[in-house]
Structure 1
Amino acid sequence: MKKRKKIMILGGGPNRIGQGIEFDYCCVQAAFALKEEGYTVIMVNCNPETVSTDYDTSDRLYFEPLTVEDVLNIYENEKPDGVIVQFGGQTPLNIAWDLMKEGVPIIGTSPESIDRAEDREKFSQLIKKLGLRQPPNGTGRSFKEAREVAERIGYPVLVRPSYVLGGRAMEIVYDEKALEEYMREAVEVSPAHPVLIDKFIEDAIEVDVDAVADGKRCVVGGIMEHIEEAGVHSGDSSCSLPPYTLSEKIIEELKRQTYALAEELKVVGLINIQFAIKNEEIYILEVNPRASRTVPFVGKATGIPLAKIAAKVMIGKTLEEVGFTEEKKITHIAVKEAVFPFARFPGVDIILGPEMRSTGEVMGISDNFGIAFAKAQMGAGLPLPLKGTVFISVADKHKPHVVSLARELQELGFRIVATSGTANFLKKNGIKVEVIKKIAEGRPNVEDYIKNREIDLIFNTPIGKGPKYDEYRIRRAATVRQIPIITTIPGAKAAVDGIKAMRSGRLSVFSLQEYHKFNRGNTF
């Protein structure tokens, strides 16, 4: 009797913000795919709350910490034919290099390629070689080095330690004083690796691309346009698949750059690329030759099981043999929305930034963007109101953008209320608006209105660099009472689209299977 080959999959370890069950989904799908191909699957993970540690997911389960020593012990005991590190997020990637040096056969994308994408200096050389663009950047191991880089590329800058997931310790820094403060704390986060400093591109559209490659061919699984602008962590941002504002020309260029990067990095398995687009220019923010947290969303939205396909590619199958040779065109729109734990943490401000804070996600699906967005809000527990009062208080730079939104809401019959500065601007532009007091101006003020549930929707963008006390109290009061509060202009535009669509159309409900049946193309 022929002996079955063994493959070991390294899981994601304990759940925490930035490293959640999206990666466990990938591990489980990979286990199922490898079993289909006749392999014995060995799962290594140490999280009792995951599906990957269920007794019937794999053939053998090792409930052990994901450290070099523990994994080597299991490897010596089991002698698998290959070990997969790219499905468990950052945890297994961090030990991949050490495992390879000990003779462990890592299958899929090589640790050298992963290092080329993770190491900022090597990555910059790669981008230059391919003639692509990335935001001006540099690295610093001390405050002096970091200051020199920031002065050269200009503030604001995005700073973060290397080799971390979930945007941990990532921050947008606007001046030298804030940079000094950051460097003092960041060195404690990862003393072995330098701090990465990128020019922060303000008001850019961020895009995520997930693809699968077999070493020769690359096929895009999904292109997702973020609803919040670049600077909000991709795990916290709502996103739309397919993109809802990008031109065909930009989409084709995104695909071309994805293929070029996958080929240069010799990717075998999954690759995720994050782009920023401003004034029709495409910048590459990050390349991850591994599973990303959007893989489950892409799988559910398109019906293409990317993690399963990637697992089969890693054991030597081609994309042609697997039957995935072209991107699937879908006729519906899927919107992913993040779910946040803010109601459970009374002291936390809800403004989103580059450090991930969400603890879950939901999907809204429809043939209309507005309805898909509205369904996603319902799923996240904050349904959009179809009538009532909207409170608007935005930063000066956002006031011109909010006029058209206020006008549309007024035409839909909403009552508009605002604090004095925003109200005066809206009045000058012909919007009927009632002024309500700021918290410091006496009572009844905006916080009282929120507490009395006299406000149904809030648009409130941050006015300065740090959270102001008034803004914080407004956002806190709304969060506790589950009143929808939107803190970005693109998010406000999507909300207005959602309200209009819900007012004019009926909510239709279909199963995922029905949506996938409507779309011709690849079927799995």
Structure 2
Amino acid sequence: MDNEIQKVLIIGGGPTEIGHETELDAACVQVIQAFKKQGIRSLLIDNNPFSVALEDVQPTNMFIQAVTANNVQRIIEREQPDAILASVGGVTAISVVQELQENGVLADNDVKTLGIPADALMDINNPDRLNDVMRHVGVPVIASETVGTLDEAINVAAKIGYPVIVKPIAPRIDTNRMLCENEQDMISAVSRGFSWSRFKQCVIEQSIVGYKEIELVSMRDAMGTQVLIAGLENIDPIGIHSGDSMVVTPTLTLSNEEYETLRDTAFAINNQFQFTGVVHTHFALGSSEDSYYVTKVTPYNDRGTSLVACATGYPIAYVAANLYLNQKLTDVHLPEIYHFKQTALLEPSLDHVVVRIPLWPFEDVKNADQHLSTVMKSVGSTIGVGRSTEEAILKALRSSQFSPQDELPSMSDLTDSQLISQLIHPLSSRILVLIEALRRGYQVDELSELTKIDPFYFVKLRHILEIEEQIKTHPMAVDALHEGRYYGFGDGMIARIWHTDIETVRRLGQDNHISPTYKGIEPSAGELLNSPTAITVPLNWKTKVSRSRPKPCWS
């Protein structure tokens, strides 16, 4: 452990907004609590007066003000912290620390950066420099070029060929990759990108729309020991922002060879940058062998790391906080809530499937463009946890805005031409359109070709429809009730299908001993528990206590 660090300035995540909810604040709470156990004083700057993290900081150590380089510099000069932590503050925090490093403020005040080395700070938000590192590691890179004027952008885009992706370099805010189909779109995107970039520069790169999007969340300590916490698979392909995509963990459609290749690549990148703590690496995976690219490297907490912590039960932010202090993974012990003696050197095992479905604000913003693209529009999400993909999908769907009355919604009012249009140009009701296409007899292969979604998920959605049909054709049948409950159909859904009330369905289950069971989530999937009783760890790290009860399964 680095005993020279006694005081750390933490940059908070700010208020909830599109791009992040409260996952940064939740991570900040865990980091502060971990530092407190080590006797380290935490200073916190955050422009969100409602931040939960402020409750864990003494009033003299909190600074409720705008997160800017000038404000952070004043705090550094007055408080003289030993280190600064940006990994729980998102892109804004990274940008501020970059600016302080460029201005020499950190060096002049002898302030260390935790988690991300100084050299790496200059690379992670600069796609051009990131590609240089990827080439050094031996990872394929997307054809791209940096531009500083509109004339340069026009020439580069013409050379690469449309469609192209535009990304600002070192953005001041959390921005999106902008897909441009023609020169007019590209000029508009580059103009916006220049305004977001601290250097008035953008990167123009070839489009990889249609590739499968895979994300890996890993941990690395200062000695170079690494563990892979989990993989996230976007059901929707690249071309739809990951925040607007349905996401599943663990990855379900990768071969072992593909998974190991991406894992090795993520670890090699972590070693090259010398990261410590949590790293979230994004990949674009093509259909041909060895066709993959690294699209983004985020060595800090974000929406993906929050989902992985929830899905695995692994306390990512808590462990990362200890790794920032140069502790080894073998020296960090998991909190007592896990009921077994285990260090953080553990790659979680998932005996369940987790599906995240985004939520959109279009009911309140009716005139907004509801098409899904590279620009994120969702403002939240629901999560379903189940023993099967079908159960997880249905649980997430039942909690979403598409299923307010506990039934599987229908899109039967769409004409065939409207249906095909929405398959090719998806709207926020994407999952309902996929189900409707299967209802109308579209084949899995043709739907996969139209949407670029892996056939596996159409097989699972079709299985849901088959179970629904089985329930419909066997009213009040015990086997149909058991099958429906097992695969995620709620009692309210089954009651509607049978045209009866929910109490009748529940009584049928009780009379035939089809009872709900409740299963906890923890990193070893029960393998390392000392007792046969399942434990419950917090599924939502936004709170300090575990939820009142875990998700039900049916036996």
TM-score (normalised: structure 2) = 0.73
Indicate which of 239, 262, 269 corresponds to 1:261.
269
- Alpha-carbon offset, residue 162 of structure 1: 2.0
- 2:482 paired with 1:506: no
- 2:113 paired with 1:106: yes
Distance between the aligned counterparts of 1:166 and 1:385, measured in 2?
39
- 2:388 paired with 1:380: no
- 2:68 paired with 1:67: yes
Question: Residues 406 and 109 of structure 1: is their aligned pair in 2 closer, same or farther, counting only changes over 3 Å?
Answer: closer
3-state SS in 1 of match to 2:171: coil
Task: Report the counterpart of residue 92 of structure 1 in structure 2.
Answer: 93
3-state SS in 1 of match to 2:376: coil
Distance between the aligned counterparts of 1:380 and 1:58, measured in 2?
39
Q: How does 1:25-64 map to 2 (within 5 A)?
A: 25-54=26-55, 60-64=61-65
- Alpha-carbon offset, residue 268 of structure 1: 1.2
Distance between the aligned counterparts of 1:93 and 1:381, measured in 2?
34
Task: Report the counterpart of residue 274 of structure 1 in structure 2.
Answer: 282
Mapped contact 1:22–1:294 kept (Cα < 8 A): no
Task: Report the counterpart of residue 124 of structure 1 in structure 2.
Answer: 131
Q: Give the letter for the 2:282 counterpart.
A: Q
3-state SS in 2 of match to 1:271: strand
Task: Report the counterpart of residue 369 of structure 1 in structure 2.
Answer: 389
3-state SS in 2 of match to 1:197: strand
Question: Residues 25 and 58 of structure 1: is their aligned pair in 2 closer, same or farther, counting only changes over 3 Å?
Answer: farther
Q: Give the letter for the 2:151 counterpart.
A: K
- Alpha-carbon offset, residue 284 of structure 1: 0.9
Q: How does 1:351-362 map to 2 (within 5 A)?
A: 351-362=371-382
Question: Residues 131 and 387 of structure 1: is their aligned pair in 2 closer, same or farther, counting only changes over 3 Å?
Answer: closer
- 2:327 paired with 1:320: no
Question: Residues 397 and 76 of structure 1: is their aligned pair in 2 closer, same or farther, counting only changes over 3 Å?
Answer: closer
Question: Residues 8 and 408 of structure 1: is their aligned pair in 2 closer, same or farther, counting only changes over 3 Å?
Answer: closer
Task: Report the counterpart of residue 427 of structure 2 in structure 1.
Answer: none
3-state SS in 1 of match to 2:49: coil
Question: Residues 177 and 315 of structure 1: is their aligned pair in 2 closer, same or farther, counting only changes over 3 Å?
Answer: same
Distance between the aligned counterparts of 2:433 and 2:8, measured in 1?
57
- 2:345 paired with 1:350: no
- Alpha-carbon offset, residue 177 of structure 1: 2.8
Distance between the aligned counterparts of 2:27 and 2:299, measured in 1?
14
3-state SS in 2 of match to 1:343: coil
Distance between the aligned counterparts of 2:266 and 2:359, measured in 1?
29
Deviations for 1:365-394, whole angstroms, at most 9, x for unmatched residues? 001011101111222232384486634534
- Alpha-carbon offset, residue 324 of structure 1: 2.1
3-state SS in 2 of match to 1:228: coil
Distance between the aligned counterparts of 2:242 and 2:53, measured in 1?
24
3-state SS in 2 of match to 1:283: strand
Q: Give the letter for the 1:284 counterpart.
A: V
Indicate which of 297, 315, 318 corresponds to 1:287.
297
Q: Give the letter for the 1:132 counterpart.
A: V
Task: Report the counterpart of residue 22 of structure 2 in structure 1.
Answer: 21
Distance between the aligned counterparts of 2:167 and 2:378, measured in 1?
19
- Alpha-carbon offset, residue 496 of structure 1: 4.1
Q: Give the letter for the 1:316 counterpart.
A: N
Question: Residues 381 and 395 of structure 1: is their aligned pair in 2 closer, same or farther, counting only changes over 3 Å?
Answer: closer
Deviations for 1:5-31, whole angstroms, at most 9, x for unmatched residues? 222211012332124322112211111
Indicate which of 283, 297, 310 corresponds to 1:300.
310
Question: Residues 312 and 498 of structure 1: is their aligned pair in 2 closer, same or farther, counting only changes over 3 Å?
Answer: farther
- Alpha-carbon offset, residue 250 of structure 1: 0.8
Q: Give the letter for the 1:271 counterpart.
A: V
Extract unaligned runs of 5+ from structure 1.
400-404, 417-425, 430-459, 464-486
- The alignment's C-alpha RMSD in Å is 3.4
Task: Report the counterpart of residue 475 of structure 1 in structure 2.
Answer: none
3-state SS in 1 of match to 2:112: coil
- Alpha-carbon offset, residue 260 of structure 1: 0.3
Distance between the aligned counterparts of 2:435 and 2:129, measured in 1?
49
Q: Give the letter for the 1:256 counterpart.
A: D
Distance between the aligned counterparts of 2:436 and 2:127, measured in 1?
45
Distance between the aligned counterparts of 1:320 and 1:338, measured in 2?
36
- 2:217 paired with 1:226: no
Distance between the aligned counterparts of 1:69 and 1:148, measured in 2?
38
3-state SS in 2 of match to 1:294: helix
Task: Report the counterpart of residue 216 of structure 2 in structure 1.
Answer: 209
Question: Residues 123 and 186 of structure 1: is their aligned pair in 2 closer, same or farther, counting only changes over 3 Å?
Answer: closer
Deviating more after overlay: 240-249 vs 62-71: 62-71
Distance between the aligned counterparts of 1:389 and 1:13, measured in 2?
39
Deviations for 1:225-273, whole angstroms, at most 9, x for unmatched residues? 0011112112221211101211111111110001000000000122111
Distance between the aligned counterparts of 1:289 and 1:94, measured in 2?
13
- 2:247 paired with 1:239: yes
3-state SS in 2 of match to 1:231: coil
Q: How does 1:155-166 map to 2 (within 5 A)?
A: 155-164=162-171
Q: Give the letter for the 1:80 counterpart.
A: P
Distance between the aligned counterparts of 2:193 and 2:436, measured in 1?
44
Deviations for 1:268-320, whole angstroms, at most 9, x for unmatched residues? 12211110111142211111222222112111110101111111000110111
Indicate which of 184, 190, 200 corresponds to 1:177.
184
3-state SS in 2 of match to 1:221: strand
Q: Greater strand share, 1 or 2?
A: 1
Deviations for 1:100-159, whole angstroms, at most 9, x for unmatched residues? 421332222123212222222221211111111122222221222112222222211111
Deviations for 1:141-186, whole angstroms, at most 9, x for unmatched residues? 1222112222222211111212338863642111223223333443
Mapped contact 1:332–1:515 kept (Cα < 8 A): no
Mapped contact 2:43–2:57 kept (Cα < 8 A): no
- 2:153 paired with 1:152: no
Question: Residues 147 and 387 of structure 1: is their aligned pair in 2 closer, same or farther, counting only changes over 3 Å?
Answer: closer
- Alpha-carbon offset, residue 32 of structure 1: 1.6
Q: Give the letter for the 1:232 counterpart.
A: I
Mapped contact 1:329–1:521 kept (Cα < 8 A): no
Task: Report the counterpart of residue 338 of structure 1 in structure 2.
Answer: 358
Q: Give the letter for the 2:312 counterpart.
A: T
Question: Residues 179 and 408 of structure 1: is their aligned pair in 2 closer, same or farther, counting only changes over 3 Å?
Answer: closer
TM-score (normalised: structure 1) = 0.77
- Alpha-carbon offset, residue 510 of structure 1: 5.9
Question: Residues 407 and 295 of structure 1: is their aligned pair in 2 closer, same or farther, counting only changes over 3 Å?
Answer: closer
Question: Residues 230 and 510 of structure 1: is their aligned pair in 2 closer, same or farther, counting only changes over 3 Å?
Answer: farther
Extract unaligned runs of 5+ from structure 2.
333-342, 425-431, 472-482, 489-515, 530-534, 538-555
Mapped contact 2:24–2:89 kept (Cα < 8 A): yes
Mapped contact 1:370–1:501 kept (Cα < 8 A): no
Distance between the aligned counterparts of 1:57 and 1:334, measured in 2?
37
Distance between the aligned counterparts of 2:56 and 2:47, measured in 1?
13
Distance between the aligned counterparts of 1:315 and 1:378, measured in 2?
42
Q: Give the letter for the 2:246 counterpart.
A: S
Distance between the aligned counterparts of 1:198 and 1:28, measured in 2?
38
Distance between the aligned counterparts of 1:56 and 1:499, measured in 2?
51
3-state SS in 2 of match to 1:54: helix
